[in-house]
Structures are given as structure tokens and as C-alpha cells.
Amino acid sequence: ALGPNKAVARVACLLDFTRLETTEEKYQPENQVVRSEQALNETSTAQITVPIGVPGVVSNLAGNQTATIETTEPAETTNTNDTTEKTKPPTFQKQDRTVNYEIGKVTSHTVHQMGTIKRLTVAVIIDGTYKTGKEAPGTGESKYTPRTQEEMKQFEDIVKRSVNFDAARGDEIKVANIPFETAKVNFPQGEEAVAEAGWLLMLKQYSSHIKYGLLTMFLLFSFIFVVRPLVQWLISSSIGEGVLLGQLPKTIEEVEREYGGDLKNLPFRNRALQMISTDKERSAEVMRDWLKES
């Protein structure tokens, strides 16, 4: 084993999520058997009368026709009127043979599952060994020693077997030897080194708690110094706007709401006089506005 933090491996896998079904039929011509055979032989002999002699009335008379003779060879006859007929028996032969063969056939149905590996790429980085230097013993200095070619070959074979390497599939594996530390590393010695290691170990152990504590403090300070002053400013600004609106002159509708519905029952002239006598400053401003508009 290389030990902790002595190797880094990265794997890139190309997967095929296609679901494929294949049906294939293969015929085997060399594997054939006679299934059925049928043979037909036909032979027939027919009598055909062939007229011979001098054409004319005599040869066509019914009394001069000779009887036909069935024989395998042509028969020779002699007639005084030279109107004899020769019989030629033709022979008809037919042979028909039908053979049916049964040829071997193989039918296969294949279902390719999803998630098959199409290509695999693996990269592995291995650290070397560190040996204490002989020139300064006891000082904590260490010297880096790279791995030998035999060791790298063994590591590569182990990686190939572990990932089921397939060259036909196009898989690639790269194993490299790179130093994880500097060429020479100085390690602290004595009680100070032990104390420093203890602090580092404690910080590493409670790193998550420290992280959440710092986050909580950040949120608390943000609320105190950012959110709270902003809320107070918004509230104070809204109050100031209300005070300013209260100091502005009232409109006619506001005056009517303030004095109730008694003004509605009075004539317009009396209502105007009463409003002017009640609020002289507002009435003067209204008159100035009317004069400006006119």
C-alpha cells in the first residue's frame, strides 16, 4: 500500500444509455437435410399414319387406305397402286424430380441494457518516497526519491485490473509519478513542534464548528450595524413625512370633514364667508392661487 495521501485517481467514464433490441436470423447451408422428394416418370407411344405415294385421287380413296400396324420399327408394305402408308410410332418420355431440403436456421434475440460503458479514461498520480538525508542527521530534512520503472509498471497493471481495462473499447490509463511535497522538507522538532501539531490537529478537528461560529457572528454584526440602522432610518423618514404633511394648508375637503356636515346645509356664500373667517391664512392662500390661475 502507498499509504494515506500518497495517490490521486480520477476516472472519466462514457456511458451509453441507449436501449437496443436486436433480432437476427442466420441460415446454415452446410447443415441441410432432405425433407421430401418426389419423382415422376412418364412414357407414352402414339400411332400416327403418314400418307406416302403419288398424290392424287387414287391415293385419297377409302379403299386404298391400308391398316396401320403398331410396331417399334417402321414396317415396309408394298401396294400395286403405289399409294401405301407407313406407320411411325413416336415415343414420349418425361422425367420430373423434386427434392425439398430443410436448411438449418439460428434465430437470436438480443436486448442491450442501458448504462453500458463505451469508453473509460483513468489518470493516477502517485507520490514518491521521502528518505532522511545523511548529511544532516536529526535535523528533520528529507529527500524525495522517485518510483522505479518496475514499480510504476506494477501500479499500472493493478489499475488496469481494477477497472477492467479493455483496449478494444478504446480505454486509456495513465499513471504518473509526481512529488506531492518539495524536494526537501524541514519538519519542526522538539516541544514546539509537538505544541504546533496539537494546535493544528485541534483546529482541523473543530474546523466545522469554527466555520459556523464565524458565519453566525457575521450575520449578527450585519444585523446590528446594517439592518437595524436602515430600519430606523426608514421609520424616521416616514414620521417626518407625516409631520410635513400636517403642516401644509388644508384643502376644502379636509375643512369640510373637520367641521362636519353643517356647512353643506348653508348657502354657498355663507359657507365661503364662514370658512374665510375660520381660517384666514388658508383663505388668503386660496385667493392668491385663484388670482394666479386667472
Each residue's pLDDT tens digit, 188-206 = 455 555 555 566 667 777 7
Each residue's pLDDT tens digit, 142-193 = 777 888 999 999 999 999 999 999 999 999 999 999 888 754 455 445 555 5
Residue 52 has pLDDT above 60, yes or no: no
Cα–Cα dist 75/61, whole Å: 22
Strand duo 116-126 + 172-177: pairing:
parallel
Q: What is residue 113's DSSP assignment? A: P
Q: What is residue 58's DSSP assignment? A: G
Q: What is the pLDDT of residue 158?
A: 92
Kindly state the average pLDDT of the residues 229-241.
72
Say which amino acid occupies 71: T
Each residue's pLDDT tens digit, 53-84 = 556 555 555 554 444 444 444 444 444 444 44
Q: What mean pLDDT is reported for the chain?
A: 73
Determine contact, residues 161/212, Cβ cutoff 8 Å.
no
Q: From the CA atom positions of the chain, what is the Rg in Å?
A: 61
- Name, in order, each residue with C-beta under 8 angstroms of 101's C-beta and a sequence gap of 6 or more: 32, 33, 34, 35
**Exposed / middle / buried, residue 256 (Cβ in 10 Å: 0-12, 13-18, 19+):** middle
Cα–Cα dist 142/183, whole Å: 8
Each residue's pLDDT tens digit, 271-287 = 667 777 777 777 777 77
Residue 257 has pLDDT above 50, yes or no: yes
Among 112, 104, 152, 154, residue whose Cα is nearest residue 22: 112
Q: What is the pLDDT of residue 277?
A: 72
Q: Between 132 and 250, where is the model more confident?
A: 132
Q: What is the pLDDT of residue 141?
A: 62
Q: What is the pLDDT of residue 78?
A: 47
Specify the range with the lowest mean pLDDT, choosing from 112-126, 201-215, 239-253, 272-286. 239-253
Determine contact, residues 70/90, Cβ cutoff 8 Å.
no
| Grid cell at residue 166 | 479493455
Residue 21 has pLDDT above 90, yes or no: no
